[in-house]
Amino acid sequence: MSHSGRKSVLVLGGSRGIGAAIVRRFASDGAQVTFTYANSAAPAEQLAEETGSSAVQLDSADRAALAALIDSLGAIDVLVVNAGVFVAGDPLALDADSIDQLFTININAPYHAAVSAARQMPAGGRIILIGSNIADRAAMPGMAAYGASKAALSGMVKGLARDFGPRDITVNVVQPGPTDTEMNPADGPLNELMHSFMAIKRHARSDEIAGMVAWLAGAEAAMVTGVALTLDGGFAA
Ligand code: NDP
């Protein structure tokens, strides 16, 4: 807990979409929230003002800056790593540098952020990564790199759950299915195809993902660790 007695929460990638919903949820639950963004300064400042949280411009690909920010925040009760990028398409045509960048942001950054946060995290702390249902089912061509990056997180949380469990810190990954954001708009071109895989044939709302994150961060989830929790409307069923 921070000096004020409020939970201290850091959300990496909080300016838009699912991350912004997570910021809103923790702020309305009374937490003291800091969030990062890469490029969207105006939405980030607006969200910070609206929710009484702090916005920090920080590219998750910059490992040193990420570690420095986390060190400077002191004891964080909850770390949520939401920042992620989506690159899909024919692997024979995709640019190799953009794939390396995807692995840096989607795999390396969550690992280094989790380790940095754990250094000062108190007992009862929570590390929550945002993965994807594509980790478990590619479903369509073009998903190899993105799916690999998100599948890496389920191995990561199993290992870190064992590393930090003795300190009463849980580590989990939340795997959304199609969720209505700028990354995957509910009126996008692949919607019919995506919904055809689902038992509940609609995109999730970002606040539905934030609800699962808030539950994981709460006292009821103290025994939940090292797992992937999927909210995909039955995409993988
Ligand atoms: P958006 O593209 O709508 O938002 C991404 C957020 O992450 C933005 O706040 C963005 O900041 C931030 N971000 C991206 N790259 C970086 C970076 N290098 N450094 C810091 N912040 C960064 O994505 P979604 O909300 O849709 O997705 C959020 C997470 O959920 C991702 O990890 C994604 O893979 C995952 N996901 C999404 C699904 C979906 O259907 N939408 C399905 C399954 C998983 P900025 O605004 O500055 O660009």
Q: Please tell me if the CB atom of residue 183 comes closer than 6 angstroms to any atom of ligand 1.
A: yes
Task: Band the pLDDT of 174: cuts 50, 70, 90.
Answer: very high
Q: Is residue 85 in some structural domain?
A: yes
User: Does residue 209 form part of some domain?
Assistant: yes
Distance in angstroms between the alpha carbons of the first and the last residue of the chain: 39
10 lines ligand 1 (CB under 6 A): no
Report yes or no on 170 lying in a domain: yes
CATH number of the domain bearing residue 141: 3.40.50.720
**Residue of 146, 164, 197, 235 marked active site:** 146
* The length of the chain, given as a count of residues: 237
Query: How many structural domains compose the chain?
Result: 1
**Closest of 215, 210, 236 to residue 82, by C-alpha:** 210
Query: Would 3 be classed as within a structural domain?
Result: no
- With a CB cutoff of 8 Å and minimum separation 6, the contacts of 73 are 8, 10, 34
Structure tokens at 5: 């007695």
Residue 2 within any structural domain of the chain = no
* Residue-range definition of the domain harbouring residue 88: 8-231
37 ligand 1 Cβ < 6 A: yes
Contacts of 230 (CB under 8 A, 6+ apart): 133, 136, 175, 177, 236
Torsion 42-44-47-53 (CA) sign: negative
Q: By alpha-carbon position, which residue is closest to atom 46 of ligand 1?
A: 40
ipTM: 0.99
Q: Is residue 49 part of a domain?
A: yes
111 is known as an active-site residue: no
Q: Is 53 in the pocket of ligand 1 (CB under 6 A)?
A: no
Question: Which of 22, 82, 129 has most ligand 1 atoms within 8 Å of its beta carbon, as the pocket-test mutant?
Answer: 82
pTM above 0.80, yes or no: yes
Residue 236 maps to a domain: no
Over residues 83-138, the pLDDT tens digits come to 999 999 999 999 999 999 999 999 999 999 999 999 999 999 999 999 999 999 99
Task: Out of 145-159, 180-194, 214-228, pick the least confident.
Answer: 180-194
Atom of ligand 1 nearest to the CA of 203: 40
* Domain assignment present for 148: yes
